[in-house]
């Protein structure tokens, strides 16, 4: 298939809100890397905004671990937030592995 035909198919799919399935793990890795960069950028902004509004441990959410540390909130709370972040990372790795496995099907 030529690049032009792929581009046309991608354009048509985009009009319907669809996108092409990825055929190689390299393509999946590139997409995951792009999405990770975007997520980190958004999370940093969200964390900064959220911690500016909250001044005590009862109002801090797990997504604002950095803010909890910089505001010197209680160590047990920070440890629980770290546990949540670690668990989230483990789930992300499992999802990425699953996405890569779909290219082999």
Domain ranges (residues) in the chain: 23-104
pTM over 0.85: no
pLDDT tens for the chain, residues 1 to 105? 455 666 777 777 778 877 767 778 888 888 888 888 888 777 767 666 655 665 655 555 555 777 888 888 899 988 988 888 888 888 888 888 888 888 766
What residues contact 47, with CB distance under 8 A and at least 6 apart? 63, 64, 65, 66, 67
Q: What are the distances in angstroms from CA 101 to CA 10, 12, 72?
A: 22, 26, 42
Tokens 């499992």 -> residue: 94
Alpha helices in 20-74 (DSSP H): 25-53, 65-70
């Amino acid at each position: 298939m030529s690049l032009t035909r792929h581009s046309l198919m991608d354009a048509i799919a985009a009009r319907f809100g669809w996108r092409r399935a990825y055929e190689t793990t390299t393509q999946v890795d590139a997409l995951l890397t792009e999405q990770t960069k975007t997520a980190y950028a958004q999370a940093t902004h969200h964390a900064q905004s959220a911690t500016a509004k909250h001044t005590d441990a009862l109002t801090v959410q797990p997504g604002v671990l950095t803010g909890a540390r910089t505001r010197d909130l209680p160590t047990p709370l920070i440890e629980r937030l770290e546990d949540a972040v670690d668990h989230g990372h483990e789930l992300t790795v499992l999802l990425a592995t699953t996405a890569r496995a779909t290219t082999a099907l």
